[in-house]
Structure 1
Amino acid sequence: MRLTDLPDALGATTTGMVETDFFGHANTTISNLRLRRAFVNLDWGNRELLVGQDWSPMFTVAVFPQGIATTFGAPFQPFARQPQIRFTWKPENLRLIGVTGWQRDAFADIGGTKAQFDSELPILHLHAQYLFGNSLIGVGAQQKWARPNLEADRFGSGAVQGYLRLVGSAVQFRAKATYGSNLADHLMLSGYAFEGEERATATTFEPLYLISTWAEILTTSRPVSVGLLGGYTENLGTSDDLATPEAFNFNARTPDMAYQWRVAPRIEYHTGPLRLGFELEVTSA
């Protein structure tokens, strides 16, 4: 539900959104009502301030796969929503975006959100986008910290990405590449390793790195359109070789998976606001 025609606040045009679904937060709560997005946005023309829960900047609302599957291209595409404070400056054709956020809900790190809460530091994002017509090119970076137990020091992990959207008269092309570590909270092949049998008593942690990329081409014809998505992600392990790898365990999403790829063609029929489609996903790891 989009909230418009609201009174101005602080001299800004005020809008908002509340979005829910019935997917639940986990397999045990399928069909339960779940909050997806809920925010208020203040727009002063060349700058905006958003407060509430929205897509993670790593998801990039301007550039994500347009397929039928509800995962939006995960694990190749970062996929998470975060409570956040987001400031956007819009000089001419540029979009400069700064975000401080937190992780919660269904896309939490493996093991829950407590490791991030106990770090006592928020997630930080910086993005820059250049717009030309309906197309854009952008880069982004993220830094976050975790403290899996209170006896250990917090450790940091970061990510960078580049993306583009090219819009022609009949065809669109979208692509994104992401490199980073400890991105399990974005439904990606990542997390961290810890020394010892129990995370609760470990004091040594090493984030796991990955590289991930996807590209999509789609037609904008109506009433029938077609699209093709291809993705590849690779588990790069830790940044340094572990002196005693047998002494480490993992708090990660599929840490034993070396790589994964996917090809997903689709065909859609559009009639008014309704979209009917068929999509075939071929995934291998």
Structure 2
Amino acid sequence: MKSEFNFKIVYADGRVIDMYEDQNYWVSSCRVQPISFSRTLEKVDGRRGLIETSTMIESRKINTIIQIDGYDAADFDMTRDAIYALFNPVDEFYIVRDLQPGKRYKVKVSNLTGIEYDDGSLEDGEFEVEFEMFQPFAESIGTSLQLQNAKEWDVGLWQWAQGIDGDTTYQYEFNTNNFIVNNFGNVLIDPRENELEITIKATASSFLEIKNITTGDIYRFNGSLTSGDTLILKGIQTFKNGVSAFGKTNTKLLSLAVGDNIFTVSGGTLISAAFNFRPLYY
């Protein structure tokens, strides 16, 4: 039986390593720490208190303690080498905890302790691994389009306490010039930092403008569009039919606030718009 703190390592290429099922490690502790931050404060003569001028969100730590058992001293020694290889400081991967299987944490190893042997044993011991998240928010394993297209909202991608209402039908593909995109996470999605892809098909004679009324963001593509064209906004980039078209934009981006985002399209007629993203969580 697994520890309740068990977790999986998931690599970008799809490889999955379960600490218990694949490695026979017992995770006795896995603590997700709060996000670290720094503030810049200023004093003003004659004014009581301080003025906050900025708050910078920094990294986040995950601390784990793992126990291992060997058949004998030689097996334990080889297990130690495997641990050093698995938890090396170079590889970047995701941690998915059994306690919340709908969220993942992108990490690198920031510290690995030596293995402490149990008293009187050369076959049993434990070690500690500290992971660091440079992008400190947990992200949904499933994407918005997967949620829209799933027959059930919890088809192995989602969990409770993820901001999803099981009685709501979620839509992330639209074919009118006015629509609402729901970000059911609890963190704003900024395409400069987070995964957000918007695929647009529209007709326009000279420009197409998309406004998120909720955030005030206005994106404008300066150029004509026909029904055969596809415009993709991916991160900070814009592609028209697969070719970079950032130079034809107003260089602005569309972000998604927490909750409902009200969009309007002007300058042309929207044929379809698809929003694909992973909600983020503190």
Shorter-chain TM-score bucket reads under 0.3
Q: Which structure exhibits the higher relative contact order, with contacts defined as CA atoms closer than 8 Å and separated by 6 or more residues?
A: 2
| TM-score (normalizing by structure 2) | 0.22
* Structure with the higher strand share, 1 or 2: 1
Question: If the length of structure 1 is used for normalisation, what is the TM-score?
Answer: 0.22
